[in-house]
Amino acid sequence: MKVLLKITVLLIITAAWMGCEGDYRQEARGSYGEVVVVMDSTRWESQTAQAIRQTYGRHILTLPSGQSLYDLRFRDFNNDDQLAQLKRNKNLIIAAPIDDSTNTARWIRALLSDEVEAQVRNGKSFAFPMQNQWYKNQWTMILSAPGDSALAEQIRNSEQTLTGNLLRREFARWKEEIYGQGEQVALSDSLWSGHGWKIRIQHDWQLNIDTTYSEGGERQHFLTMRRPLPENDRWFWAWWKNDVEDISYLDDEWINAKRDSLTRQWIRGTRDSSYVTTEYGRPVETESFRMNGYLAYETLGTWRMTHDAMGGPFANLTVYDEQNDRLFLLEFGQFAPKYNKRRFVRQFRTMLRTFTADSTWQSGSGDGGQH
């Protein structure tokens, strides 16, 4: 075991060095949405396995069709060749009680130091993420505890933390892939200079509406972009308002009411009476968090077209710039009946997270601001 431990430490040092100098190893294989769970085959119906399914494999209720958070594939190994093949996967969960007699448990003990093993046995730690351990662009999570029921309980109690760790890695992967294909820097820069905010814009999006209007005697701003592809129509819209000093009203109810009022006015169908609205017959979920220093609310759900048989997913980000008293709503939507939506929504969430506002922006004339 000590020999294996020394090899593991060397791998960690090597991976860290490669992360600084450029990783020239082979790319880990598999899709972003697939996770290989390494467990002894006799434990695939254990409490731990069920907890993993309920956590990483739970259904996403905010998508139009039933898809799981991640597609799980349970795998076992009996020799070094099989283990070498497992190590090649992009997303890996390695799970077993720390003192189990299985090959997976022995592998976990070889990967962890004696000090960390002691923490696991004492119930102080149970989850250990690793990045690029054996291959480039790889995510690994070791899960271990004194026993099966204890590990299952810790997994269930830490669902948000565990899935959030993998989602953040997936967002980073999508960010590299989306903008690696090219981006419209000039268009993004024009938003920055003209409106005091920007997101990174993929290479083939087209700017449509860019307007300032008055509502209730207050200046408001609206912008739309579109990526029209055959059988996969995607759009983006943004609304923002300056001089917003009080946000005590800001909650999920206000966000959805505002979203619906904007899409009714600006995101309309081919018929005069048709427009996009939220499908409240399905779950709509809002979560607040801090993003790049901003107070942010992410809302996920589905939309429908009134008086028409159309619908799809949306991803909305509501952001408050406390420094400059500016409120933003940004949203991506999609109509693509033939495609699974999970990966596209993850792309939308990734692009929304590139939002930033100009800290030197001041309310004024023109489009609503000046440097």
Residue 9 pLDDT more than 80? no
Residue 7 pLDDT more than 50? no
Q: Report the sign of the C-alpha dihedral through residues 219, 220, 223, 224, in that order.
A: negative
Q: What is the rounded distance in angstroms from the CA atom of residue 127 to the CA atom of residue 50?
A: 17
Q: Is 341 helix (H, G, I), strand (E, B) or coil?
A: coil
The pLDDT, as a whole number, for residue 21 is: 56
The pLDDT, as a whole number, for residue 192 is: 98
CA distances from 224 to 44, 166, 207, 319, 338 (A): 48, 31, 6, 17, 24
23 band by pLDDT with thresholds 50, 70 and 90 = confident
Number of H helices, E strands in the chain: 10, 17
368 band by pLDDT with thresholds 50, 70 and 90 = very low
With tokens 């979560």, the residue in question is 287
Residue 6 pLDDT more than 70? no
Of 224, 186, 179, whose CA–CA distance to 202 is shortest?
179
Residue 159 pLDDT more than 90? yes
Q: Stretch 58-81: mean pLDDT, rounded?
A: 96
- Count of residues in the chain: 371
Residue that wins the pLDDT comparison between 63 and 20 = 63
- In angstroms and rounded to an integer, the radius of gyration of the C-alpha atoms of the chain is 24
The pLDDT, as a whole number, for residue 22 is: 73
88: Cβ contacts below 8 Å, ≥ 6 apart: 26, 28, 29, 134, 135
Backbone conformation region of residue 4, classed left if phi is above 0, alpha if psi is from -120 to 50, else beta: alpha
The pLDDT, as a whole number, for residue 367 is: 57
The pLDDT, as a whole number, for residue 202 is: 95
Q: Stretch 38-64: mean pLDDT, rounded?
A: 98
Residue 309 pLDDT more than 90? no
Q: Stretch 337-358: mean pLDDT, rounded?
A: 98
What mean pLDDT value characterizes the chain? 93
320: Cβ contacts below 8 Å, ≥ 6 apart: 244, 247, 250, 294, 295, 296, 326, 327, 328
pLDDT tens digits, one per residue of 229-257: 889 999 999 999 999 999 999 999 999 99
pLDDT tens digits, one per residue of 162-208: 999 999 999 999 999 999 999 999 999 999 999 999 999 999 999 99
Q: Stretch 63-85: mean pLDDT, rounded?
A: 97
The pLDDT, as a whole number, for residue 72 is: 99
What percent of the chain shows pLDDT beyond 90? 87
The pLDDT, as a whole number, for residue 189 is: 98
Residue 3 pLDDT more than 70? no
Q: What is the rounded distance in angstroms from the CA atom of residue 31 to the CA atom of residue 321?
A: 35
The pLDDT, as a whole number, for residue 366 is: 45
- Give Cα 294 to chain centroid, integer Å: 17
The pLDDT, as a whole number, for residue 10 is: 38
Q: What is the rounded distance in angstroms from the CA atom of residue 235 to the CA atom of residue 288?
A: 23
Q: What is the rounded distance in angstroms from the CA atom of residue 299 to the CA atom of residue 255?
A: 8
17 band by pLDDT with thresholds 50, 70 and 90 = very low
Q: What is the rounded distance in angstroms from the CA atom of residue 220 to the CA atom of residue 241?
A: 5
326 band by pLDDT with thresholds 50, 70 and 90 = very high
Domains within the chain, CATH numbers bracketed: 2-179 (3.40.980), 182-370 (3.40.1000.10)
The pLDDT, as a whole number, for residue 63 is: 96
Residue that wins the pLDDT comparison between 258 and 6 = 258
Q: Are strands 232-241 and 276-278 parallel, antiparallel or unpaired?
A: unpaired
Q: Where are the beta strands (DSSP E) in 192-325?
A: 197-198, 206-215, 218-229, 232-241, 276-278, 285-291, 294-305, 311-321
Q: Per-residue DSSP letters for 97-144? A: -TT--SHHHHHHHHHS-HHHHHHHHTTS--EEEEESSSSBT-EEEEE-
- Give Cα 196 to chain centroid, integer Å: 25
What percent of the chain shows pLDDT beyond 70? 92
Residue 317's φ and ψ, nearest 5 degrees, are -125, 120
14 band by pLDDT with thresholds 50, 70 and 90 = very low
Q: Is 226 helix (H, G, I), strand (E, B) or coil?
A: strand
The pLDDT, as a whole number, for residue 290 is: 97
116 band by pLDDT with thresholds 50, 70 and 90 = very high
